[in-house]
Structure 1
């Protein structure tokens, strides 16, 4: 019997639309049936190597067919995929391999040295699988050799709606956290908000089969939860998902033209800005594109307007949510970090809770934490203290506290001011970095900016900006004057640190630990 489980649903969809194109990366094109057969072979190979239900399988890979195949294969045997940031150095990998308790690891051969240095410290990590050819890591299996001779048929044990999905997220202020989901909760929390989710597993399969042909592209790395969720959403719509192996703006635009992509998903300014730069200087066929979506990071108004001017016939959409909450809201027209973020929730179980964990009265102006109940994550893996603080139970209802500081306006829309953990308290005034970053990026000489707080003898903390300039540049005095035209004086950065290149995650998230260190040195 088919249940609400990622592997069950994919297999059902592959059975009813076997010849529809499911996945594209570079020159490789796989139908639903072809991808299902590849995943079956890999799943049988994992079982043959002793990987069992509930065990954790790491994926230290660039985007590609093998990443998607490994995700599917892992779910087919009821194991749990673990995303590994491919930028991690040895110390960070040591933490993640240990915290996640992986028993198997898929890795690109480009990471041979790091894997060879760290993996031997974990005797529980019994299976290493190299993707991309020959590997220098002792006792590792080459991917193609591992799956050779394995059957393309299924024959796996029945699955459960309670199987787990873990996504490691964060790392901007500390080591990443493993967000634990039940697969049914995740399916409904990250469901496409443009239509009500079907009430039965067969309903999801029927919807995919009856959907029109659609081609979607996610340019974020699959080691980021947003790209994985975009992939599942595409498949639940019977659509084709398109990847590029690594982010390159020119390659992305040319791929859109070649594969006739309809919907493009990015994560905020860090991806949108280089895409806009390439678009201004290139000649591309974008006649098929009708949606440009940002999720996982909000577009600043300046960047959003620039994209809109370059793509006048394309819808520009901002989605709001998190790894723990799923997709929860859509940005209101005119909303932006510099003008004020306002969202309309897509789901009925979103609220703003005050300090007593009671819902804020609409229009009261009371600030609280944005929260969600219903289909939410279950825990942080191996972190009961963080789990208890983030997922409190109030009057018998389990809530997720997102950490976003917000209030509810009279019309029911939610005004979000920023992430509470990043708020800067300067002389008793709270400053939210997102607003300042957006204003700085509105200056024509600024390519990127990250704002953080550093110690100040008089005010406790001062606002500091780490800035990457475009060619031609600008002085701190010019940026100060620009900010003072847009911001109250206490919000204006008092320290500027100019860097040749901003450090962000592959998904575009700011590295606030690094930014703080750079600002303190300045």
Structure 2
């Protein structure tokens, strides 16, 4: 690596996203930056590779501001490719590896991407995309053997210079395009500028992760989603990011033991599986000091069990694609021996530094303290806007980003989520929030997971329906669970029907896909509510 240009930036405290990695490559050149399987990169190697990727993209005619799709699973090349795109001044388009081919086409078309960097596992998908996305000119393939369809990633990058490309980036330049999970409708393209993304990654990552010097962070959740924010804080502290192919529990336990992992991030569905895993008791997890969970709320009963099993290592992160990271429930808040902390295990914690919260009604008016309403957020780390600017007013009004979540803060500032605004079930004129029913179901020892939705009903418009995954060897009847909810919440809230399933469907970001659960019941109808 011949050199790294460290530039100063006027009129902003936040430079481009690449600034932290450049600094880390100078300060920690010989340390291990990335590990994936049996392969690794030092900081010096990572810095040189990102420069070569950037220079190869520039040589192909990719210009500042061009959109570059990144379709890759969790591999060693994911991180260098992303940072190489940034160093070339281009804009990565995050494409969830688990999304359908139809969704991948939508991501590229909506963002008007000119280039796609993809892994060989997606050869068949890429062959279709190049035919159907009109703006797509260049395909670059990460794989073992070259193919006629695309340029070979290894070939073009090995021939490029490892000198810093020197592309000037300003704080307001576009930095990244993300897409909403689509759990409540068509995914929207969300644009972040460099200053907003830097603030989002550094402040949220450090405050949530409490990242320490020499951190060893294991990434099993998709790097296209929330775990990615902990790459940069780990680099900032000269630590090591360990990339796992997925969040398989056996792999996670083995990775923690092998690399003495100190921190990781998971979704609650995986944590539930981990708690029931037969290898958990014997596994050496003594190095693990931080477990961040996000993606969906976690039932207080399950959280107490997790603290009992793994100790005071948990941090909850609450975020949305548009508003950014909003709040966190810190380790000290997970103290099950403290009655005040116990009551707050069902909260999303307190707002992060420089994050303002407003609870508003349907007319965007602030509500009195304690009254549930839509959680609205104001902060620098929010999105700059949607790709389709005409949709900005759907989420951003008077500089407040409307999260679509219903909640309220308590007197100490802890934020309690009641539900997703669009998950609301209206049954016989009563508003029913599924999250509260799911929390009751989670108190039963036979329930591993549950999801509650509204289904059509000729009398009440919508009826409450529950879908439950039972724990192995723990029989329970639908009648018992319905009566449990009735006892705790009353007959209106009690599910009118309940199905048992082997597993719940997940969307590309690992959240329970309620859209998929609802689809069979609402098929053929003009509206998805009654």
Same fold (TM over 0.5): yes
Distance (whole Å) between structure 1 residues aligned to residue 27 and residue 305 of structure 2: 42
- CA deviation after TM superposition for structure 1 residue 123, in Å: 3.4
Distance (whole Å) between structure 2 residues aligned to residue 336 and residue 110 of structure 1: 45
2:491 is equivalent to residue 489 of structure 1: yes
Q: Partner of 1:302 in structure 2?
A: 301
1:492–1:213 CA distance, 2 compared to 1 (3 A): same
Q: Answer whether contact 2:74 2:243 (CA < 8 A) is retained.
A: yes
- CA deviation after TM superposition for structure 1 residue 232, in Å: 1.9
2:359 is equivalent to residue 359 of structure 1: no
Q: Answer whether contact 1:169 1:177 (CA < 8 A) is retained.
A: yes
Q: 2:190 is paired with a residue of what secondary structure?
A: strand
TM-score normalised by the chain length of structure 2: 0.87
1:385–1:194 CA distance, 2 compared to 1 (3 A): closer
Q: Partner of 2:447 in structure 1?
A: 446
Moved more, 454-463 or 381-390: 381-390
- CA deviation after TM superposition for structure 1 residue 440, in Å: 2.6
- CA deviation after TM superposition for structure 1 residue 338, in Å: 11
Distance (whole Å) between structure 1 residues aligned to residue 404 and residue 392 of structure 2: 13
- 1:141-193 CA distance string (max 9 Å, x none): 22212212111221322211112222112211222222111221222234345
What are structure 1's unaligned runs of at least 5 residues?
198-206
- CA deviation after TM superposition for structure 1 residue 378, in Å: 3.9
Cα RMSD after superposing both structures: 2.6
- CA deviation after TM superposition for structure 1 residue 457, in Å: 1.6
Distance (whole Å) between structure 2 residues aligned to residue 113 and residue 241 of structure 1: 30
Q: 1:326 aligns with which of 318, 324, 330?
A: 324
Q: Partner of 2:58 in structure 1?
A: 47
- 1:42-90 CA distance string (max 9 Å, x none): 1111112221111111111111111101110011011111111222333
1:340–1:289 CA distance, 2 compared to 1 (3 A): closer
Q: 1:102 is paired with a residue of what secondary structure?
A: coil
- CA deviation after TM superposition for structure 1 residue 392, in Å: 0.8
Q: Answer whether contact 1:43 1:77 (CA < 8 A) is retained.
A: yes
Q: Partner of 1:344 in structure 2?
A: 350
- 1:115-139 CA distance string (max 9 Å, x none): 2123211232111122232365x43
Q: Partner of 1:264 in structure 2?
A: 264
- CA deviation after TM superposition for structure 1 residue 424, in Å: 1.0
TM-score normalised by the chain length of structure 1: 0.88
Distance (whole Å) between structure 1 residues aligned to residue 94 and residue 343 of structure 2: 29
What are structure 2's unaligned runs of at least 5 residues?
1-6, 10-14, 335-339, 524-530
- Give the aligned length: 500
1:195–1:512 CA distance, 2 compared to 1 (3 A): closer
Q: Partner of 2:291 in structure 1?
A: 292
1:342–1:155 CA distance, 2 compared to 1 (3 A): closer
Q: Answer whether contact 1:354 1:366 (CA < 8 A) is retained.
A: no
1:28–1:463 CA distance, 2 compared to 1 (3 A): same
Q: 1:167 aligns with which of 172, 178, 181?
A: 178
Q: Partner of 1:140 in structure 2?
A: 150
Q: 2:506 is paired with a residue of what secondary structure?
A: coil
Distance (whole Å) between structure 1 residues aligned to residue 513 and residue 28 of structure 2: 42
1:93–1:376 CA distance, 2 compared to 1 (3 A): same
